[in-house]
Amino acid sequence: MSNTDEKKPISERLRGLWHMLSGYRLLYVGALIAVAFAAVAKTSSFLVLRYMIDEVLLRDEIGRAVLLIALSFIGLALIEGFFTFLGGRLTARTAEGITRQLRDQLFDHLQRLSFSFHSKAQTGDLIQRVTSDVAAIQRFFGEQVIELGRILLLFGINFTALLLLNVELALVSVIIVPVLSIVSFFFFRKISQLYEQYQEQDARLSTVLQENLSGVRVVKAFARQDYEQDKFERENHSLFVRGRDLLKLHAYYWPVTDIVANLQIIAGFGVGALMVINGTITVGTYLAYAGMIMWIIHPMRGLGRLIVQASTGLVSYQRILNILGEPQESLTEGSVEPQGDVRGELVFDHAGFEYEEGQEVLHDISFRVKPGQVIALLGSTGSGKTTLMNLLPRFFDYTSGRITLDGIDLKAYPRKYLRRQIGIVEQEPFLFSRSIRENISYGVGRDVSEDEVIEAAQAAAIHDVIETFPEGYKTVVGERGVTLSGGQKQRVAVARTLLKNPRILLLDDATSSVDTETEAEIRQALDRLMEARTTFIIAHRIQSVMNADLILVLDKGRIVQRGTHDTLVNQPGIYQQIYDLQARVELELEREIAGV
């Protein structure tokens, strides 16, 4: 995702974060107000303290006043406690709410990103952004911002109160603030940087883990556990180093600021004591000042700490923003508003396609398909068969020439409409860890009855297999349920497509992982499926393609031969070679079986 990892200036990120609060702003402002009340209550208790000492104790007017003062102390403590509690509740509500909102938004966005984004993005990295980066945002709003508000308020209120008591004292007690600010700023920049590296490394580790788990069969098959373990340990160690560096920096920061802050407090106490001796201030003022200076300096120390912590939130926000900034592919946009179903007439007119600019993988593809015809694509691996098919549902858009469907440019159709009209049985079908029934009825877009599901499964020659499972159609696939073989998965995928009943059918090697006998069964199902539908079929066995209306032989992204089986067999070229090869193998097999 490095291509999009540009950085927005901090002011813009802050504005973005403010925007993120939408829907919760009132609640959040309420939280801040509550925190302000709590801070005012705290400062007031220092003023009550001063009043008590100067006006009551020193003047021997005890009695009723003491009771009042005691009551006001208790009252202020209660008020502070209540508002602190209220502030906490409101903050938690906001933080939970916006992180839920953010996670939804991210998931939604990820669902709508293009094929090309997902084929390049690393799953582990994406998962990390939806989980750990969102958690950092949650801390940002749930703890850091509110704490920041509290600290600023405490500072502002106490400083104002001090100014009212004695201007000189007030100024003395903030003399250190510029120094603390500079130190904090320096650490803030450094820590942001380190944290960013930490998060990147964390993402790398997730990717290694995720890839390793997804590819666990390959790892085992090649006995590469040691290699993978080394790789993981290397990345893990690197994460450790970064985490350690981060902590080290924190470890420098705290003592430095602690020392500076404590010096300030001692100096403040000293100056205040001198003023009492000189008679500039009263003892009550001094005691109130002693309490308040704590609430001026501690916030300043905390401020640095918080700004540093909040910088992690800003980094995470940037990482999330980079995903949200990826263009979505519109599902509904299109210059035509098609009604009903397509007929399925396709024209490729010198069409070409490139995944990366300047590297064309399909060149000059021209052919016509009438509605209901069957087109077979044949060619060696990497020749562009899947790529050609992927142009039809607009997983990718062709980059040169033209493709029309029913006479209208393919790019004019909304993707959602096209994808409803087109059914795909993929090369490696994916099943969700849900029940078989749900997998078959996935994406049909309407309620389907049990009978329909069974009918589709029967047609796809998988019904009998499902019946043998302990819970039949309710059996959950994968992880906690049964594991299906490659061929069984393909047949479930065929059933799913049958049920969807699309006008155009794309079969990408739909029978690659089944034996010849099952293939014959599936082919019957497919033949039924192909009736009256425009069908593209990719297959490696001549038998699967020989009945096609048009066979296209691809080589390195070009059509090198075209025609029906009868013409192609009699033409020197790739098709004839494949045919000869397969016919010979079959003949030999027959001979062997016959025992000749």
Q: What's the closest the beta carbon of residue 89 comes to ligand DUT, in angstroms?
A: 50
Choices 123-131, 243-251, 379-387, 484-492 (CB under 5 A): range interacting with Mg ion: 379-387
Query: Using CA atoms, how far apart are residues 403 and 214, in angstroms rounded to an integer?
Result: 36
Where b means 16+ CB within 10 Å and e means fewer, 287-319 reads bbbbbbbbbbbebbbbbbbbbbbbbbbbbbbbb
The dihedrals phi and psi of 24, each to the nearest 5 degrees, come to -125, 5
Interface with ligand DUT in residues 308-367 (CB under 6 A): 355, 361
Single out the segment in contact with ligand DUT by CB under 6 A; choices: 19-27, 173-181, 186-194, 385-393: 385-393
Length of the chain equals: 596
Decide if residue 381 touches ligand DUT (CB under 6 A): yes
Are the C-beta atoms of residues 138 and 313 closer than 8 Å to each other?
no
561 binds ligand DUT (CB under 6 A): no
What whole-number distance in Å separates Cα of residue 412 and Cα of residue 151? 57
Crossing angle between the packed helical segments 283-324 and 225-278, to the nearest 10 degrees: 150
Locate 95 and state its tokens.
């933080």
In angstroms, the CA 62 to CA 387 distance is: 92
The entry of Mg ion, ligand DUT, none that residue 382 binds, CB within 5 to 8 Å by partner kind: ligand DUT
Q: Which of ligand DUT, Mg ion, none sits in contact with 335, Cβ below 5 to 8 A by type?
A: none
Among residues 185, 193, 31, 22, the alpha carbon closest in space to that of 105 is found at 22
Range in contact with ligand DUT (rule: CB under 6 A) among 122-130, 384-392, 412-420, 475-483: 384-392
Interaction between residue 393 and ligand DUT (CB under 6 A) = no
Beta-strand ranges (E) seen in 359-464 are 359-369, 374-379, 400-405, 408-409, 422-425
113-116-118 Cα angle (round to 5): 60
Q: Could you tell me which stretch among 17-25, 37-45, 332-340, 374-382 binds ligand DUT (CB under 6 A)?
A: 374-382
Q: Which does 135 bind (CB under 5 to 8 A by kind): Mg ion, ligand DUT, none?
A: none
Is the CB of 377 or the CB of 526 nearer to ligand DUT?
377
Pick from 386, 501, 547, 564: which binds Mg ion (CB under 5 A)?
Answer: 386
CA gap 106, 100 in Å, rounded: 10
Asked if 384 and 365 count as a contact pair (C-beta separation under 8 A), the reply is: no
Nearer to Mg ion, 181 or 386 (CB): 386
Q: Is 486 in the site for ligand DUT (CB under 6 A)?
A: no
Residue whose structure tokens are 């039924």: 528
User: In angstroms, what is the minimal distance from the CB of 353 to ligand DUT?
Assistant: 9
Does 122 interact with ligand DUT (rule: CB under 6 A)? Answer: no
* CB nearer Mg ion, residue 386 or residue 404: 386
The answer to whether residue 573 forms part of the interface with ligand DUT (CB under 6 A) is no
Q: Choosing among Mg ion, ligand DUT, none, which partner's interface includes residue 381 (Cβ < 5 to 8 Å by kind)?
A: ligand DUT
**Complex with ligand DUT: residue 345 or 354, whichever CB lies closer:** 354
Q: Which of 129, 385, 463, 489 binds ligand DUT (CB under 6 A)?
A: 385
Q: How far apart are CA 208 and CA 211, in angstroms?
A: 5
| Residue of 122, 386, 501, 582 interacting with ligand DUT (CB under 6 A) | 386
Comparison of 224 and 363: residue with beta carbon closer to ligand DUT: 363
Q: By the 8 A CB rule, do 441 and 479 touch?
A: no
- Closer residue to Mg ion (CB): 334 or 384: 384
What are residue 595's phi and psi, to 5 degrees? 75, 30
Report the residue from 23, 81, 327, 382 that binds ligand DUT according to the rule CB under 6 A. Answer: 382
The sign one gets for the Cα dihedral 218, 223, 224, 226 is: positive
CA quadruple 16, 18, 21, 23: dihedral, nearest 10? -100
| Sign of CA pseudo-dihedral 28, 32, 33, 37 | positive
Query: Starting from the edge strand earliest in sequence, which strands make up the sheet with 346-356, in order?
Result: 359-369, 346-356, 400-405, 408-409
379: left (phi over 0), alpha (psi -120 to 50) or beta: left
Kind of pairing, strands 400-405 and 408-409? antiparallel
Query: Which parts of 403-432 interact with ligand DUT (CB under 6 A)?
Result: 427
Judged by CB under 5 A, the stretch of 92-100, 108-116, 378-386, 582-590 that binds Mg ion is 378-386
Give me the least distance between CB of 553 and ligand DUT, in Å please.
11
Nearest approach, Cβ of residue 255 and ligand DUT (Å) = 53
x-or-dash string of contact with Mg ion, 328-367, rule CB under 5 A: ----------------------------------------
Min CB(553)–Mg ion separation in Å: 15
**In this complex, which beta carbon is closest to ligand DUT, that of residue 379 or of residue 487?**
379
CB of 385 to ligand DUT, least distance (A): 4
Binding footprint of ligand DUT on the chain (CB under 6 A)? 119, 355, 361, 379, 381-387, 427
Binding footprint of Mg ion on the chain (CB under 5 A)? 386
